[in-house]
Amino acid sequence: MQQPIHSFWTEVQNRLARDSHRSVREVLRTMSEDSGNAKERPASNPVRRACFDAAFFSGFLGERARALCARQPDRTPVVLLHLADGAILDLCHIEQLFPDWMGGSVFRDAKTCDQMDLVFVPYALITRVTISLPSVHERRIGFQTET
């Protein structure tokens, strides 16, 4: 069973409190390295490999979205990340990919596409990725497919 997200962030906060001189990035990197150490992982907590990982986001997703757009240039690609906690993120573009998590810009309001938030999501939290192609009249901005 994957560690619940609230437990993950509690652990991050605990480590930051304990090692106040370290940055969040250093703590996350250390936790990522620690998770690869089988001796520290309880036997009752097997690791589940995320279906959607850095390879998926760095290659397949963009390639697939570009191919769909090439066939239907009057459409806007919309990529939704469905998370295990029920949240749905409307992805504009990927900021950065790491071994266990990604950073991305998401639209706050799909109707206006005026404001975005920067999100950091562990791959294990992503349960489904959907690509839709609404008309450019329905949606003026979507997922950025440029390489």
Residue-wise pLDDT tens digits, 72-95: 989 999 999 999 999 999 999 999
Token pair in block for residue 120: 């950091």
Reported as a pLDDT band with limits 50, 70 and 90, residue 117 is: very high
Read off the pTM: 0.65
Task: Give the DSSP letter of residue 135.
Answer: B
Hey, what domains does the chain have and what are their CATH numbers? Answer: 5-40 (no CATH), 54-132 (2.30.30)
Q: What is the mean pLDDT of the chain?
A: 80
Asked if 91 and 80 count as a contact pair (C-beta separation under 8 A), the reply is yes
Quick one: pLDDT band at residue 27, thresholds 50, 70, 90?
A: low
What percentage of residues in the chain have a pLDDT greater than 70?
Answer: 70
Query: Could you give the C-alpha distances from 83 to 86, 127, 139, in angstroms and in order?
Result: 5, 5, 23
Residues 6 or more apart whose Cβ sits within 8 Å of residue 110: 78, 90, 139
Task: Residue 124: name the closest of 98, 94, 96 by CA.
Answer: 98
- Opening angle at CA 62, ends 59 and 64, nearest 5: 100
